[in-house]
Amino acid sequence: MYDLDNTAYDPEDFIAKLWKIVNRFKRKYPDFVGMKIIYAPYRATNVDIVKENFNILKRVAAKYPGFIAGIDLIGFEEEGTILHYLDELQKIGRHFPFYFHAGETNRQGAFVDYNMLDAILLHSKRIGHAFALPKHPNLMKMVKEKNIAIEVCPISNQVLGFVSDLRNHPATYLISRGYPVVICNDDPGNWGAEGLSYDWYLTFMAMSTENAGLELLKKLAINSIEYSALDDTQKKLALKIWTDKWNRFIRDFTNNKYDEDIITN
């Protein structure tokens, strides 16, 4: 990270500043439950650098308890597989859960596919993208049995050329079959997306059945909480806050409040 004066900040400085910002935001907005960081070293490197990154991870986790959710590896999967860093991952995995990015590919039968298998076998809490998952029935069965959430990033997949028409996105099958899916936005800053609304809109309009309604949006929202890295107490609080707001939205909607606001404005 760097600021407008081009001052560079190392990971520990960045996390310290983010910690302060999050706590300041929580004080200002009491219904904000909080956030956590998935610490993700770049995969296109070597074991020594990954090992040093994990040492940094242990230091910041001790300094900011509960702020680190777990571990991922970022970057194009062809540039470094999970197995390449297996020894170090198994050591650090005794202390932190995994949230692996895996299966972001249009290829079939390539070594990248094994990243999904390795992510499952290493008990990843979620799998980022898993774009190739529907091509592998056995892996799909394992994902469902282990209740591993799939992070679906529609705009990212379209922008990066994995799918042109989102109606043909592999996640349409996952959604229709009741797989644990959460809607994410990957790298929103790269294409100017603010928040998740754009990805949610495209998921609802292009990747669900024509008769899908509020029940799908409700399920996806609940999934976001259920499969988050919040602890059980935080999840319970977040779900209560969300449920109260959802019920208020439904009540206002059925009472035509939004129609009145549109007419008034």
Phi-psi region of 103 (alpha: psi -120 to 50; beta: other; left: phi over 0): left
- Asked whether the predicted pLDDT for residue 258 surpasses 70, the reply is no
Q: What CA–CA distance (Å, rounded) separates 60 from 82?
A: 23
Closest CA to 40 of 12, 75, 71: 71
Q: Which of 78, 79, 88, 104 is catalytic?
A: 104
Quote the pLDDT of residue 5: 86
Please list, in sequence order, all residues whose beta carbon lies within 8 angstroms of the beta carbon of residue 174, skipping any fewer than 6 positions away.
Answer: 133, 134, 150, 152, 181
Which residue is associated with the tokens 């980022």? Answer: 128
Quote the pLDDT of residue 111: 81
- Residue range 51-78: mean pLDDT, rounded: 94
Closest CA to 116 of 90, 151, 69: 151
- Asked whether the predicted pLDDT for residue 118 surpasses 90, the reply is yes
Percent of the chain with pLDDT over 70: 97
- Asked whether the predicted pLDDT for residue 191 surpasses 90, the reply is no
| SS3 at position 232 | helix
Q: Which of 77, 101, 129, 136 is catalytic?
A: 129
Copy the structure tokens of residue 76.
Answer: 């194009």
Phi-psi region of 129 (alpha: psi -120 to 50; beta: other; left: phi over 0): left
Q: What CA–CA distance (Å, rounded) separates 123 from 25?
A: 32
123 is catalytic: no
The residue ranges of every structural domain in the chain are 148-230, 231-265
pLDDT class for 141, splitting at 50, 70, 90? very high
Closest CA to 147 of 176, 120, 171: 120
- Asked whether the predicted pLDDT for residue 265 surpasses 60, the reply is no
Q: Which tens digit of pLDDT belongs to each residue from 221-242?
A: 999 999 999 999 999 999 999 9
pLDDT class for 260, splitting at 50, 70, 90? low
Copy the structure tokens of residue 207.
Answer: 């990747």
**CA distances to 12, 78, 86, 88, 263 from 58, in Å:** 11, 27, 18, 13, 55
95 is catalytic: no
Q: What pTM value is reported for the model?
A: 0.91
Copy the structure tokens of residue 58.
Answer: 């242990």
- Residue range 124-152: mean pLDDT, rounded: 97
Kind plus residue range of the DSSP H or E element containing 195: none
Helices marked H in 85-212: 86-92, 113-121, 137-146, 154-159, 171-176, 197-206
